[in-house]
Amino acid sequence: MFFLTSLPREEITKFCNINFVCVSINLVNSETLGKVIAEDLLELETGMVMFDAMTKKEIFVQCPVLCITCDNPKPSEICHHLSSSALHFCRECDATSENASEIGDMRTDEAVKTTVQQIQNARSENAKRKRRRNSGVSEGFMMKLKANTY
């Protein structure tokens, strides 16, 4: 679902202003759906030609994406993030409670993959749990992907 960011708060929550994007009932995973939606939003952000029914002409439409909000559990799972229970609670940067008022160093795919590998190579479950909590990284989504390939 999506809604326009420029609407007042009382208008955003009205059903007529909430737009449905897509759904999948256990046929396609959320990462696949999210990638297609993100590609469409990127195309719309850079601009595209569309037909205007009122003027009966083609027009150029450009819409910047200002904010994407979603429920916390699934995006955290997709981003290999432990969520708010981790010391590094932000799934975008390395923010902690001590530096939460500043944007920290951004997480990179390489760093997350390296941390997931370190978690998987840890000798005990306690060491894995400690590494997850300290880094804010979780291997849960990767484990689900492996489970679905067998």
Structure confidence at residue 55 as a pLDDT band (50, 70, 90): very high
Highest mean predicted confidence (pLDDT) among 5-9, 35-39, 47-51, 99-103: 47-51
| Domain regions of the chain by residue span | 70-150
| Mean of all residue pLDDT scores within the chain | 75
How many other CB atoms are there within 10 angstroms of residue 119's CB atom? 20
List, in sequence order, the alpha helices (H) in 7-136.
9-12, 30-46, 73-78, 109-121, 125-135
CA angle 123, 126, 131 (to 5 degrees): 85
Residue 49 has what pLDDT?
A: 93
Which range in 12-16, 53-57, 78-82, 142-146 is most confidently predicted, on average pLDDT? 53-57
% of the chain beyond a pLDDT of 70: 63
Residue 59 has what pLDDT? Answer: 94
According to DSSP, residue 117 is labeled: H
How much is the average pLDDT of 140-147? 48
Check the CA dihedral 65-66-70-76 and report its sign. positive
Of residues 84 and 10, more confidence is placed in: 10
pTM of structure: 0.43
Dig out the tokens for 105 from the structure: 């160093």
pLDDT one-digit tens code per residue, 22-32 = 666 667 776 67
Residues whose CB is less than 8 angstroms from the CB of residue 139 and which lie 6 or more positions away in sequence, other chains included:
80, 116, 119, 120, 132
Interval 84-128: pLDDT, tens: 667 776 767 777 767 766 667 787 888 888 988 999 999 999 999
